[in-house]
Structure 1
């Protein structure tokens, strides 16, 4: 088996592992777009057990939590150990005009997709314009 050893990459990995003082949740990368009458949020969560993914709505705050647990392998010599375990957290303020009762989520191939529908009140609508007839009244003296 051929292995390439890059001492600078290894030094960078060790330095970031030692100097990374963040003990809290990690940020998950996401995309968000509007498609017609709903928003679609796609968040990368590779290697996450679907049972650990939690999507909550509290008022206008959408919270996504997930946990990646790493296998503990004893008695092995690691050649590379770059993937980190831990918790992931993302919170979004939904604002007005969202139908929070019908938010749906799916997890497939390491991607969490949350569909957020726009409420009926917030959808664009056409307002009918009525032509009013002007009536003239005769004034008698």
Structure 2
């Protein structure tokens, strides 16, 4: 088995642990995500296991897509924690949308703790074929426009 070390991910994890220790439950953390293009739209998957779908807010303001979610801590008073690794609090992700995307047609679905956001490519940004005219076809069209019918 090959393990890869990502120093930035490790740094984020450590910073999150330090921050959550200083301000329990009051942190804003990033959520893991995948983003890919499929045909004429982009698809974003965010892992939000244990988050109530009703707490998820998605908005677009000035071409910035913001996803916020809240995972509440367990409030059982009779629980004695042995280990607590699942973070609670507010999770947030911000993405700047390119000009070639259509923010008015963004859709979102929720299934099994995964939020899926579909961001369509704008019609003006989609590839299109340009017709080529030749000099002969252009002069024939010009003659037809000049000749009385």
Shared fold, TM over 0.5: yes
| Secondary structure of 1:20's aligned partner | helix
- Aligned ranges for residues 15-30 of structure 1 at < 5 Å? 20-21=18-19, 23=23, 24-30=27-33
Identify the match of residue 105 of structure 1 among 92, 105, 108: 108
Gaps of 5+ in 2: 1-13, 140-149
TM-score (norm 2): 0.74
Gaps of 5+ in 1: 1-15, 136-141
RMSD: 2.0
Question: As a proportion of its length, which structure holds more helix?
Answer: 2
Counterpart of 1:95 (choices 94, 98, 123) is 98
Structure-1-length-normalised TM-score:
0.77
Q: Deviation string for 1:75-134 (max 9, x for gaps)?
A: 232222222210000000011111111100011111110000001100000000111249
How many residues of Structure 1 are paired with residues of Structure 2 in the alignment? 119
Structure 1 stretches of 4+ with a deviation exceeding 6 A read none
1:85 and 2:85 matched: no
